[in-house]
Amino acid sequence: MEKITLASQLLQYLITGLTVGSVYAMVAVGFNIIYNVTEIINFAQGEFVMLGGLIMVFFHVAMGLSLILAFPATVILVTLVGMLLDRLAIRPIRQPSVLTLIIATIAASIIIKGAAMFIWGKDPYDLPAFSGRNPITFLGAVIQPQYLWVIGFLVFVVIALSIFFDRTIIGKAMSACADNADAASLVGINVKQMILLSFALSAGIGAVAGITMTPISLMEYDRGVMLAIKGFGAAILGGLGSFPGAILGGLIIGSIESFGAGLISSGYKDAFALLVLMAVLFFKPSGIFGDIEISKIKRF
């Protein structure tokens, strides 16, 4: 076998890091959408990713639906789960404080995980790659076509979200809730509906992340927690509430893990990502794109 050059190795680490980072970024974006409207951290975010992967396996592999049909069906189903989460776990809570709501999402994540274990069992499931498994060689590094799908969907999610928040009335109404919920309701925005919408959106994005990553790394019922932690780290790193921050944060954490594992020690790769996170928070407590003035008026 020919020896791989250092340059190719570095390129390989970068590609791997960006792919893994894209998944973290999508989870982080999901955190931010809900955070912006409700000021809570939805710890069931990782469960949406897991459900996305497993429901896609059910539709595409078990039921034999084509990719074009199974993909939207999965996203819609997971979106419904997200809306149910709001209606059943978040809205009924009386005198909600941020802390009780966060605890409710933790409970929901445990329930969703348990339900998934009952339905699918503990085995991991595989999904065929969207466009085959023949790797593309690029300057000595190897790229799976699925990597491009993951990164591509991140780009798509980013573009769609920025159009939604900047160009549509509903998007602007959501941003208004994020800025000041009381003022938003005074001008006639239905805040409760916006909260429901935020859960729906972030569940949908979580589903996309799960669907695109499953052909690379398989999916099983208890994958959600780890992804939620990494995505949360990415959201904090980029500045909670900031979309560019979430994406940058995800890509940075993914790349650090990959370079750390490759160049220094694979045993400590999670530690490198956390070290960078802590260092950033030390110098800029609000995260890379976060605004300290805004974070002061937030309840959490």
Partner 1 sequence: MTLRRISIIATICLFVVGLLINPAQAFKGTYKVGAVFSVTGRTSFLGDPEKKTAEMLAEQINNAGGINGHKLELIIYDSEGDATKCNLAVKKLITKDKVCAVIGPSLSGTSMAVLPVAEKNKTPLISCAASYKIVHNEKTGKPYKWVFKTPQTDTMAVEAIYSHLFKRGLNKIAIISVTSGFGASGRGELIRLAPTYGMIIVADEKYGPKDTDMTAQLTKIKGKAPAAIVNWSVGPTQVTVLRNWRDLGMSSIPFYQSHGFGSRKNIELAAGAAEGILCPLGSCNIAGLLSASHPQKDVTMKYSKDYKARYNEPLSSFGGHAWDALQMVVQALSNVGDDKAKIRDYLENNIKGFVGQHGVFNYSLNDHNGLTKDAFNMVIVKDGDWALAD
Q: Could you tell me which stretch among 164-172, 194-202, 259-267, 285-293 binds partner 1 (CB under 8 A)?
A: 259-267
- Report the amino acid identity of residue 124: P
- By the 8 A CB rule, do 37 and 174 touch? yes
Q: Of 33, 89, 261, 277, which one interacts with partner 1 (CB under 8 A)?
A: 261
| Angstrom distance (rounded) from CA 168 to CA 145 | 33
Residue placing its CB nearer to partner 1 in the complex, 35 or 149: 149
Residue placing its CB nearer to partner 1 in the complex, 123 or 182: 123
The three-state secondary structure class of 256 is: helix
State the residue for tokens 């590094």: 141
Q: Could you tell me which stretch among 14-22, 80-88, 97-105, 289-297 binds partner 1 (CB under 8 A)?
A: 14-22
Binding mask 89-128 for partner 1 (x = CB under 8 A): ---------------------------------xxx-x-x
Q: Could you tell me which stretch among 61-69, 194-202, 219-227, 277-285 binds partner 1 (CB under 8 A)?
A: 219-227
- By the 8 A CB rule, do 94 and 83 touch? no
- By the 8 A CB rule, do 86 and 79 touch? no
Binding mask 262-281 for partner 1 (x = CB under 8 A): xx-xxx-xx-----------
Q: Could you tell me which stretch among 19-27, 153-161, 175-183, 232-240 binds partner 1 (CB under 8 A)?
A: 19-27
- By the 8 A CB rule, do 113 and 224 touch? yes
Phi, psi of 188 (to 5 degrees): 95, 15
- Report helix angle 145-167 to 6-38, nearest 10: 30
**Number of residues that this document lists for the chain:** 300
β-partners of residue 141 are: 138
- By the 8 A CB rule, do 199 and 42 touch? yes
Nearest-approach distance from CB 45 to partner 1, in angstroms: 16
- Report the amino acid identity of residue 100: T
- By the 8 A CB rule, do 27 and 209 touch? yes
Within 139-198, which residues bind partner 1 (CB under 8 A)? 142, 144
Nearest-approach distance from CB 70 to partner 1, in angstroms: 18
Q: Of 29, 34, 184, 216, which one interacts with partner 1 (CB under 8 A)?
A: 216
Q: In the complex, which residues of this chain contact partner 1 (CB under 8 A)? A: 1, 3-4, 6, 9, 12-13, 15-17, 19-20, 23, 122-124, 126, 128, 133, 135, 137, 142, 144, 213, 216-218, 220, 222-223, 226, 257-259, 261-263, 265-267, 269-270
